[in-house]
Amino acid sequence: MQPSVRAGLRERGFLAGHTHPAHLQGKVIALEEHFWIPELSVGGNYPAEWARRLLDLNTLRLEEMDAAGIDIQVISHGPSKLQNLDAASATDLARRANDILQQAVLAHPDRFSAFALLPTPDPQAAANELERCVTKNGFKGAMIHGTTHGEFIDRKRFWPIFERAEALDVPIYIHPGATHPAVAEAYYTDYPAMASAGWGFNVETATHAIRLILSGVLDQYPKLRIIIGHMGEGLPFSLWRCDALLTRDSDLKKRFREYFRENFFITTSGNFSVPALLCSIMEVGADKILFSIDWPYADNVEGKTFLDNAPISADDRCKILSSNAATLLRL
């Protein structure tokens, strides 16, 4: 970091000496931490250790949380085949996954909370399942993984989900799903690794976020909160340009940047980069950043150490590790 940049950040309160994280108040809350049920697991060359962790909702998960100093996981089902199933099968399996997760939360109420898995092939059933999980099970929102049968969820047929989320006052977490086959074929055939977490997942989820803003859903439901991971999927870095050009070329009621700053939260999941964190704080503010690991795809200790040592103020560190999530999710 250039000295002039560091000085500017310190003047604005982003850098603050070497305050030790042990002095911070509040519990450490991680928001993008996964499990799965075998019926919905996706194929692919998954390491056996990932699969073992995804199936664990007890001892191993807690041991690894304790080793990193993580007090609470908000658990969600990992990427699955649910959103490409028929409506009836998706509805049945979403309920089953959510009920299994609920039992884990009941067994460890001081350590686990949850986001619901939604059967998006039937948007009305998805809205109803969100309401069931929030009102009866105490879930804190929902996570949606990518497209549904190739459709982005900005389409109006999916808006009942957002209407219900606003009414329930819970966020929707948009998580990467598999890159659309047509996109993968056109862009990534020569380098298949690009289609996944290193690039394609970011592009797909950032596209989802942009489409949600351009669709008008946030004008229809202005109190809706959307979460995206991986330090905003690159959008904080591109926010000036998105604001300048997408605002100019659309019929938005507000500027693009306003929607992103007001309605979106971003997490640190799987992107443990100090420059990316500082960019995000400067663009959206520390109040809109939430601590996450992306367990088991990323390591608890690495993610927590990154935040502990990041050159940010003690107040901002406490917000990101604890109080932002506690406020947003009413933990």
Q: How far apart are CA 153 and CA 211, in angstroms?
A: 9
74 in a domain, yes or no? yes
Q: How far apart are CA 257 and CA 242, in angstroms?
A: 8
13 in a domain, yes or no? no
Phi first, then psi, for residue 330 (nearest 5°) are: 55, 50
5 in a domain, yes or no? no
109 in a domain, yes or no? yes
Question: 211: closest CA among 242, 168, 190?
Answer: 242
Both tokens of 33, joined, read 């931490």
Both tokens of 285, joined, read 């503010």
Both tokens of 287, joined, read 């109040």
Q: Is 20 exposed, middle or buried (0-12, 13-18, 19+ CB in 10 A)?
A: exposed
Question: DSSP assignment, residue 270?
Answer: T
Query: Is 32:329 a contact under the CB 8 Å cutoff?
Result: no
Both tokens of 204, joined, read 């797909």
Which residue range is the domain that position 289 belongs to?
24-329
Phi first, then psi, for residue 213 (nearest 5°) are: -65, -45
Please, what sign has the CA dihedral across residues 80, 50, 269, 329? Answer: positive
Domain count, the chain: 1
Q: How far apart are CA 60 and CA 72, in angstroms?
A: 14
**Which is the catalytic residue, given 294, 299, 308, 315?**
294
Q: Is 288 exposed, middle or buried (0-12, 13-18, 19+ CB in 10 A)?
A: buried
pLDDT attached to residue 41: 84
Under 8 Å CB-to-CB from 269, ≥6 apart: which residues?
31, 32, 229, 230, 231, 292, 293, 294, 298, 303
294 is catalytic: yes
Which residues share a beta bridge with 2? none
304 in a domain, yes or no? yes
303 in a domain, yes or no? yes
Q: How far apart are CA 226 and CA 264, in angstroms?
A: 5
Query: Is 146:77 a contact under the CB 8 Å cutoff?
Result: no
14 in a domain, yes or no? no
Query: Which CATH number do you get for residue 236?
Result: 3.20.20.140
pLDDT in tens, the chain (331 residues): 444 434 444 443 434 433 333 433 589 999 999 999 999 987 666 788 889 999 999 999 999 999 999 999 999 999 889 999 999 999 999 999 999 999 999 999 999 999 999 999 999 999 999 999 999 999 999 999 999 999 999 999 999 999 999 999 999 999 998 888 999 999 999 999 999 999 999 999 999 999 999 999 999 999 999 999 999 999 999 999 999 999 999 999 999 999 999 999 999 999 999 999 999 999 999 999 999 999 999 999 999 999 999 999 999 999 999 999 999 999 9
311 in a domain, yes or no? yes
Helix segments in the chain, DSSP class H: 3-11, 48-54, 59-68, 87-107, 123-137, 159-168, 181-188, 200-215, 217-220, 235-248, 256-263, 274-284, 300-309, 314-318, 324-329
